[in-house]
Amino acid sequence: MLAASACITLTGPPLTAHAAARPAPCIGGATETKGFSAVDDGEIRWTDNTAYDDARTYAISEWQYRGSRIKIVEDSAFTSNDLEFKDADLGSGNSAPLGRYERHGDIGATDYIIFNKQKLRGASKVRLRYVALHELGHALGLCHKADTVVSLMWKNAPTPGYEITWVPDVDKANYKKLWG
């Protein structure tokens, strides 16, 4: 049963955002919480069933920056899978997301990062990497941020060609506030 989900849609924030080194608040009354993450015992064990391997690999490597505390490692036959990357048709209309993080929440349940095949068909490598970075941010417990700070976690995806493909300082600050 789906407990919660987070997704991004394409409408584009203004390009006047500026960098911040302090944590930024969540929008819409949300809060960042370990309980909404896919983290289990200080790590995320993942599997994949996606055609977007480059995006997945890139996002994992970027979230494993120096100083990050949560280990993101491939699942094995001897561990429990926390997160699965997969592809699905989530719609093609204006309000359809590019991707979505689904938190299932039960002990032993698998959470999902879902790439919307309908919206990402033919997307650039940069666009795909942005979506993977954003959704993995949700799997780490991060919430949406206002478009007045430079963040991967904007609710609305930036216009193609203006995607963020690194973990900005504000997101590192929110990560550190949550995970130490």
148: left (phi over 0), alpha (psi -120 to 50) or beta: alpha
Give the pLDDT score at 107. 73
Q: What count of other Cβ atoms lies within 10 Å of the Cβ of residue 43?
A: 15
User: Which residues of the chain have a pLDDT value below 70?
Assistant: 1-20
Give the pLDDT score at 21. 74
Give the pLDDT score at 8. 60
- Distance from C-alpha of 89 to C-alpha of 71, rounded to nearest angstrom: 29
Buried/exposed 107-135: b ≥16 CB within 10 Å, e otherwise: eeebbbbbbbeebbeebeebbbbbbbbbb
SS3 annotation, 15-26: CCCECCCCCCCE
Task: Tell me how many degrees the CA angle 151-15-143 measures, rounded to the nearest 5.
Answer: 25
| Residue keyed to tokens 């995806």 | 157
Task: Tell me how many degrees the CA angle 95-162-173 measures, rounded to the nearest 5.
Answer: 90
What pLDDT, in 10s, does the model give residues 38-91?
Answer: 999 999 999 999 999 999 999 999 999 999 999 999 999 998 899 999 999 999
